[in-house]
């Protein structure tokens, strides 16, 4: 692959296909990354192109997600976009330039990895869950990510969402591992202390995330049951799309399911919560932790090392295998909110601009 000198006036094409579905972690990361690159790159004359093969509904979601950002959109409308992306990645023809024109950088997503003729080739690895813990993902997710990891080996630079994930990638990719750069996720500006607060008829503990085995909700539910024996006024509110496997237990007393919620609704839920609890067993970073901190909520988080960078020293930590430990930690958070200020300060590090600067610097370092 020919190399370009990275400087002023780069044309950077980013695959934003994951923005075509309701946004969760990866979609939110891409949204913040593209916005940050546009903000930082404008002064240098960079052109950011948001590219995606997508259907009509997906194209609308992509445009809504990027509204207000100084980016060019290049959306290839296709009735069977998923099949088209899979075939393009497997057949490896034609080069992406045939669709989007000349480019200096192509940054592909988890969803497709078409070939390119020239320029820097980059991607972001968000975590290695499908490799490390295949029992925690669906067979389709495992196949998709295994292919993406193989495609990542041909990159000039691979971005990761934390130093922890970077160390995982280096260990598992081995001698063929491309250069690694950390570009932390960004907190959406709507997650802040001031603004509307949700009112749900009483105090509540909030949990956020797609309901899947990795999120370890059974420990949270059992811990909450223990906590509620002393605090019967509490409700546990769970916001997140219902996933798969045994992650979704039957209804329990004091637990309120909200399903997938909009960003505006989620921001109000964070601000209105008495505490936020996150029992995940493994993360690439753990963005809900930082969103809760930015919203001024006491945070109780799993003690797994994959969450250390998200937590800093601003969260109470608990053993993800111990409902008793989580019950005690949530009780402590409800009694003492002294870490809230530290959490707001910690969360302020994770801006869109910082993410954009890290990505643009990563391109330059490996040109």
18: confidence class by pLDDT, cuts 50, 70, 90:
very high
User: Which residues, in sequence order, are CB contacts of 89 under 8 Å at separation 6+?
Assistant: 112, 113, 114, 147, 151
pLDDT of residue 125: 97
* pLDDT of amino acid 95: 95
pLDDT at 1: 44
Instruction: Say yes or no to pLDDT of 235 above 80.
Output: yes
Q: Is the separation of the CB atoms in 106 and 96 below 8 Å? A: yes
In the chain, the percentage of residues whose pLDDT exceeds 90 is 77
The more confident residue out of 6 and 79 is: 79
* Closest of 262, 142, 145 to residue 208, by C-alpha: 262
Provide mean pLDDT across the span 73-95: 90
At 144 the pLDDT is 86
Question: What are the structural domains of the chain?
Answer: 11-186+351-365 (3.40.50.2000), 204-347 (3.40.50.2000)
Predicted pLDDT at 7? 54
Would you list the DSSP string of 19-42? GGS---HHHHHHHHHHHHHHHHHG
CA–CA distance, 107 with 113 (Å, rounded to integer): 9
C-alpha to C-alpha distance for 318 and 28, rounded to whole angstroms: 26
Q: Where are the alpha helices (DSSP H) in 76-233?
A: 81-91, 97-100, 129-132, 139-152, 163-173, 217-230
Q: Which residue has the higher pLDDT, 136 or 194?
A: 194
User: Comparing C-alpha atoms, which of 337, 342, 277 is closest to residue 314?
Assistant: 342
Q: What are the structure tokens assigned to 339, written together?
A: 């870490």
pLDDT of amino acid 15: 97
Query: What is the pLDDT averaged over residues 323-342?
Result: 96
Residues 360 and 40 sit within 8 Å (Cβ to Cβ)? yes
pLDDT at 8: 64
Q: What is the pTM assigned to this prediction?
A: 0.93
Question: Residues of the chain with pLDDT > 70: what percent?
Answer: 96
| Mean pLDDT over each residue of the chain, to the nearest integer | 92
């Amino acid at each position: 692959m020919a190399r370009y000198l990275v400087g002023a006036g780069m044309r950077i094409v980013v695959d934003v296909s994951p923005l075509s579905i309701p946004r969760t972690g990866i979609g939110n990361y891409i949204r913040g990354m593209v916005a940050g690159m546009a903000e930082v790159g404008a002064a240098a004359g960079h052109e950011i192109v948001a590219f995606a093969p997508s259907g009509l509904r997906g194209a609308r979601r992509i445009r809504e997600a990027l509204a207000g950002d100084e980016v060019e959109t290049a959306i290839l409308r296709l009735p069977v976009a998923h099949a088209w992306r899979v075939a393009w990645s497997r057949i490896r023809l034609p080069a992406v330039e045939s669709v989007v024109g000349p480019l200096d950088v192509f940054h592909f997503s988890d969803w497709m990895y078409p070939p390119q003729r020239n320029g820097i080739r980059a991607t972001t690895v968000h975590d290695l869950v499908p490799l490390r813990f295949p029992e925690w993902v669906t067979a389709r997710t495992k196949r998709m990510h295994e292919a993406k990891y193989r495609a990542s080996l041909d990159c000039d630079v691979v971005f990761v969402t934390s130093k922890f994930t970077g160390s995982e990638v280096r260990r598992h990719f081995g001698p063929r591992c491309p250069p690694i750069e950390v570009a932390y996720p960004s907190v959406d500006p709507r997650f802040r202390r001031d603004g509307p607060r949700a009112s749900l008829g009483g105090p509540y503990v909030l949990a956020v995330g797609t309901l899947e085995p990795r999120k370890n909700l059974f420990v949270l539910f059992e811990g909450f049951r223990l906590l509620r024996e002393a605090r019967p006024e509490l409700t546990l509110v769970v916001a997140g799309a219902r996933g798969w496997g045994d992650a979704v237990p039957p209804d329990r007393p004091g637990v309120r399911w909200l399903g997938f919620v909009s960003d505006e609704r989620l921001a109000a839920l964070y601000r209105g919560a008495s505490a936020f609890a996150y029992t995940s067993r493994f993360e690439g970073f753990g963005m809900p932790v930082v969103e809760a901190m930015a919203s001024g909520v006491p945070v109780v988080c799993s003690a797994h090392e994959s969450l250390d960078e998200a937590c800093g020293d601003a969260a109470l930590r608990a053993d993800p295998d111990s409902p008793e430990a989580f019950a005690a930690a949530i009780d402590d958070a409800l009694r003492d909110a002294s870490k809230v200020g530290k959490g707001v300060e910690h969360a302020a590090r994770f801006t869109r601009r910082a993410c954009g600067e890290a990505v643009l610097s990563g391109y330059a370092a490996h040109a």
